[in-house]
Chain A
């Protein structure tokens, strides 16, 4: 598509959507096993620190119990809301906003910032996520014209305290891939 003299992947509708919140979600209550499995995975092949899986030991620390690692994802596998099938996958903002997404073949996460307030996530916590479209930009490189999409996600706990903020930037490029399009936009050509 063209926009003046320059080919672009950013439509007027996409540009107008910057700043909008496009997805709200809540987690199931965090289980001790969720935290344990996360810790096992990120520390593999080393055993994870006891603070993340030994409840009796964790009680003896200043934290008074198990607190998840700062990068722990409470939404892995399934959310409490939206229920499966009720919305699009998170990655592409456009389907959530009723906008035609650009026709590309790949999504690659290239920048990730995780900021934590120090409150932490504990077993039993229910986390709410608010996901917003922060910015679009473009760059031409080895992979051709690349669309950079930046999103911001705020996580709060069941008493409304901000626990964490994510800033993600991912790139899309290449020719339209139908499998990807169906997965993220729920439609085929």
Chain B
């Protein structure tokens, strides 16, 4: 968890990584009722133009949320928004590594600090999976 007074523009978030395996995706599928065939079946994914099964966009968004929570902490902060735009499929057998950087820190005068960030996630070998942004709000 970040030392709050140190939050400043340019600060990099610790990377957050998750493997793209059926072990991970099946658990999320069970939580989100998300069993579309291109997440579960390589052959079906190939019919749609992918090399093999692909990870779920809501799970990738959830990973961005997890990364933000691990960085800002859970005690006195909330995630106001997360936006992601997919650039490449999260292929089964690759690893998603997410990162972020603080773009702006706004002190709102009522004990609230609003932090704007750029986010991204890459897979091996260095394929950009998504780009996005987030806003987190720390409350006193």
Is A99 among interface residues, defined by CB-CB distance under 8 A?
no
In whole Å, how far is A103's beta carbon from the nearest beta carbon of chain B? 15
**Nearest CB to that of A107 among chain B residues?**
B36
Q: Of the candidates A71, A77, A113, A118, which one forms a contact with B65 in the assembled complex, judged by CB atoms under 8 Å apart?
A: A71
- Say whether B48 contacts A106, CB under 8 Å: yes
Pick out which of these stretches binds chain A: B6-14, B79-87, B120-128: B79-87
Within 8 A of B (CB), among A43-69: 43-45, 49, 51, 61-62, 69
Over the window 5-45 of chain B, the binary record of Cβ atoms lying under 8 Å from chain A Cβ atoms (1 yes, 0 no) is 00000000000000000011001101111001010000000
Interface bracket on B: 35 or more
A44:B27 contact, CB within 8 angstroms: yes
- A112 within 8 A of partner (CB): yes
Interface residues of A in 66-86 (CB under 8 A from B): 69-71, 73, 76-77
B98 contacts across to A, CB distance below 8 A? none
Query: Is B3 positioned at the interface, with any CB of A under 8 Å from its CB?
Result: no
Asked whether, in the complex, the Cβ of B58 is within 8 Å of the Cβ of A70, the reply is no
- Specify which of A37, A70, A120 lies most central, judged by the most chain B CB atoms within 10 Å of its CB: A70
Most chain B C-beta atoms within 10 Å of own C-beta, residue among A61, A112, A115: A112
- A146 → chain B, closest Cβ, in Å? 11
* Min C-beta distance of B52 to chain A, whole Å: 15
Q: Which chain B residue shows the least CB distance to A115?
A: B81
**Residue in chain B with minimal CB distance to A35:** B31
How many angstroms between the C-alpha atoms of A51 and B85 in the bound complex? 29
Write the nearest CB–CB distance from B135 to chain A, whole angstroms: 9
A43 to B: closest C-beta gap in Å: 6
List 14 additional contacts besides A41-B32, A112-B83; criterion CB under 8 Å.
A42-B65, A44-B23, A45-B23, A62-B75, A71-B65, A73-B31, A108-B48, A108-B86, A110-B85, A111-B85, A114-B83, A115-B81, A120-B78, A174-B49
* 10 A-B residue pairs with CB within 8 Å: A37-B31, A41-B28, A44-B28, A51-B74, A61-B74, A69-B65, A70-B78, A73-B58, A113-B84, A114-B82
The 9 A-B residue pairs whose C-beta atoms are closest, nearest first, are A41-B31, A109-B57, A42-B62, A113-B83, A41-B27, A106-B48, A115-B81, A76-B33, A70-B79
